[in-house]
Chain A
């Protein structure tokens, strides 16, 4: 077959279609995404392909979905600050655990580092000696958490990332393994706290930090 090269217009059409089909490898896909953001004419080609192929959506079967709303809502709408403490002291496991966490933090003498200014950098979590460090940056609707120093937790354990709104319980953002963690989340407001705890493999069984909190940082700058 003779392959006459595509015209520039057809090149763009084919690229838009490839993107919507999803056949590209990651570098090409990322480059195309950047073009969609920068080039409205090209973005329109992509939207047109989305509509053209949408008719195939009827072929996706439904599948029972678990009720993830509580987890999604906890991420999106952290609980408002608790009312001032009442005289009646009740035992609260999360509160007790966060007390433990703070104590452990003090004992270990691990320090809080704070976010340098810069494009998209939200916070840096690092030990005082910088032997373990995670960088949290923001891109679009996502936070990207990359380990910049140190190693993952030992076998059987895992580092878990938490976000804590003022006065609210910690909310898990995910587990930190060797790959950077990408989680859909807006840029956290100034004053919120990011923390890393050590949890059993698979993550905290309770939905709250159970192991020692080894890193914390307050969000200060924001992008």
Chain B
């Protein structure tokens, strides 16, 4: 990979460099806040999670391996995992109002990513899925929708949702790894 300033900062955090930690927060917190806010849909919860995300980043910095991916990807993985853990820990109820609040984002990822001239493959491969299945993959990844939410949104039984999402994911993999 080319230069990856975020990866360098994480490596310095692993070496207990607190100045690097501050710079990392300044440079990446807006992006992570965006992730947390989109998934948790609540500012207080997102701010609380942000605090835990950076605590975790500092504590786990030594485990980051630049060979495995870019620094920002690693940070977003930590933020997404924490947000989804929090979301799932909330009482799982079918809250159709909450689900309606989630904007339908179909199409946005493609446009933007194509504009960036990267990620063609995931875009192309998502396009090989039926549109509602591609939308389910996006809704889960970007909005933190659970099987329960997806089943409600697509009006299918939970097990059906699960079967067809799993099949779609395997198809996606086949395409992406080609």
Which A residues are CB-close (under 8 A) to B140?
Answer: 21-23
Knowing A23-B147, A61-B34, A65-B29 touch, does A55 contact B113 (C-beta < 8 A)?
Answer: yes
Nearest chain A residue, comparing its CB with the CB of B149: A23
Interface assignment of A60: CB less than 8 Å from any CB of chain B: yes
Instruction: Establish whether residues B137 and A21, one from each chain, have CB atoms under 8 Å apart when the complex forms.
Output: yes
Given A22-B80, A60-B35, A186-B59, A53:B146 Cβ within 8 A:
no
Q: Give the residue name and chain of the A residue nearest to B22 (CB).
A: A69
Given A22-B141, A25-B92, A50-B69, also A14-B166 (CB < 8 A)? yes
Stretch from B4-12, B70-78, B94-102 that touches the partner: B70-78
User: Across the interface, which residues of B come within 8 angstroms of A186, CB to CB?
Assistant: 59
Q: Does B128 contact A (CB under 8 A)?
A: no
Distance in angstroms from B92 CB to nearest chain A CB is 6
Tell me the bound Cα distance from A197 to B163 in angstroms: 49
Q: Which residues of B contact A76 (CB under 8 A)?
A: 55, 58-59
How many interface residues does A have (CB within 8 Å)? 49
- Determine whether A35 belongs to the interface, using a CB cutoff of 8 Å to chain B: no
Chain A, 53-100, CB within 8 A of any chain B CB: 53-66, 68-69, 71-73, 75-77
Cβ-closest chain A residue relative to B74: A50
Instruction: Please name all residues of chain B whose beta carbon is closer than 8 Å to the beta carbon of A54 when the two chains form the complex.
Output: 69-70, 73, 76-77
Decide yes or no whether A6 CB sits under 8 A from chain B: yes
Within 8 A of A (CB), among B55-87: 55-56, 58-60, 68-70, 72-73, 76-77, 80-81, 84-85, 87
B155 interfacial by beta-carbon distance below 8 Å: no
Choose among B25, B84, B176 the residue that contacts A69 (Cβ–Cβ < 8 A): B25
Interface flag for B148 (CB, 8 Å): yes
User: With an 8 A cutoff between CB atoms, is A135 at the interface?
Assistant: no
A52 touches B122 (CB 8 A): yes
A63-B170 CB under 8 A given contacts A52-B122, A56-B138, A183-B52: no
A17 to B, closest residue via Cβ: B169
User: Are A26 and B88 also in contact (CB < 8 A) when A59-B113, A62-B34 are?
Assistant: yes
Please give me the residue from chain B that is nearest to A66 by CB atom: B47
In chain A, residues 165-201, which have Cβ atoms closer than 8 Å to a Cβ of chain B? Answer: 179, 182-186
Contacts of B80 in A (CB 8 A): 22
A55 partner residues in chain B, CB cutoff 8 A: 113, 118-119, 121-123
Given the known A-B contacts A55-B121, A64-B30, A69-B22, are A29 and B84 also in contact in the complex, defined by CB atoms under 8 Å? yes
> How distant is the Cα of A135 from the Cα of B51 in the complex, in angstroms?
23
- Contact status B109-A58, CB under 8 Å: yes
Report yes or no: B68 in contact with A71, Cβ–Cβ below 8 A: no
Q: Which of A17, A58, A182 contacts B112 (CB 8 A)?
A: A58
Q: When the two chains form their complex, are residues A141 and B56 in contact, meaning their CB atoms are under 8 A apart?
A: yes
In the bound complex, do residue A24 and residue B146 qualify as a contact, i.e. CB atoms below 8 Å apart? yes
Report the Cα distance A146→B5, complex, angstroms. Answer: 40
Complex interface: chain B residues within 8 A of A65 (CB): 29-30, 32-33, 47, 50
Interfacial chain B residues near A69, Cβ < 8 Å: 22, 25, 54
A129 at the interface (CB under 8 A from B): no
Q: Do A52 and B173 have beta carbons less than 8 Å apart?
A: yes
Q: Which 7 A-B pairs have the closest CB atoms?
A: A55-B119, A65-B33, A22-B84, A65-B29, A62-B30, A59-B109, A17-B169
Supply 8 A–B pairs (Cβ within 8 Å), ascending by A.
A21-B140, A22-B81, A23-B145, A53-B122, A54-B76, A56-B113, A60-B34, A62-B33
